[in-house]
Amino acid sequence: MTTIGCGCKICKASLGEYTNQLIIDGVSPKEVLEMLKNRGVKTTAKLLKKHLSAYEIQYPETDNSEIINCTPVKVDLNKIDFSEYNFDVNDIESIIGYLQKINLKIYLNQSKITLQAQQDVIDGKSPNVPKEILQNLAIAFQILDKSTGLSTHVNQQEAIKVVEAMGLLVQRPSSFLLPSHVTNPSQSETN
């Protein structure tokens, strides 16, 4: 039996030249795969790419139907109306507290998305959690951590526990720099 075309599934179905012409005429790979499927040849983009490569035809890397045009959001920082936000623009602690709350909200929302994606895997609706969702959760945590110093505080507390477990005494400073709305328990005990 002689090999037809490059010997792939497409060529064996006598659709090699037809497929080549579709791509040359500018039909998207996605549409070509659908047309082949309608003609009884179910194949993949990887096989299509290999087939075209055998004929030295460039595989179109972008599908024009999937291109999304985005317009940038323009913000004039001199025209922000701070009255809609719940902080005093002259109080740095108030601003920091507001930003920390925003970052916490972003992290909690991304956590919900991640947990839903995990539930979809458990329920068999999805084969795995998309990598982008996990990356977004990691980025949201980094932002939250940078705005709150959470990991520094946790690491410091763990270090104190380890040192105290070794039988050493750690004197805790009485003058932590805390926001005005947080009381320092060591100061209230001494007063």
CA distance 108 to 114: 10
In the numeric block, which tokens belong to residue 57? 């035809």
CA distance 15 to 30: 16
Which one-letter amino acid corresponds to residue 145? Answer: D
CA distance 94 to 97: 5
CA distance 138 to 161: 27
Q: Which helix (H) or strand (E) holds 103?
A: helix 92-122
Measuring CA to CA, which residue among 7, 58, 55, 52 is closest to residue 33? Answer: 52
Return the pLDDT at 104: 94
pTM of the model: 0.46
Return the pLDDT at 116: 95
Domain ranges of the chain: 9-61, 77-165
pLDDT tens for the chain, residues 1 to 191: 455 678 888 998 889 999 999 999 989 899 999 999 999 999 988 899 889 888 888 888 765 555 677 888 888 878 878 787 877 888 888 888 889 999 999 999 999 999 999 999 999 888 889 999 999 999 999 999 999 888 887 888 888 888 888 888 877 655 455 556 555 555 444 44
CA angle 62/68/69 to nearest 5° reads 120
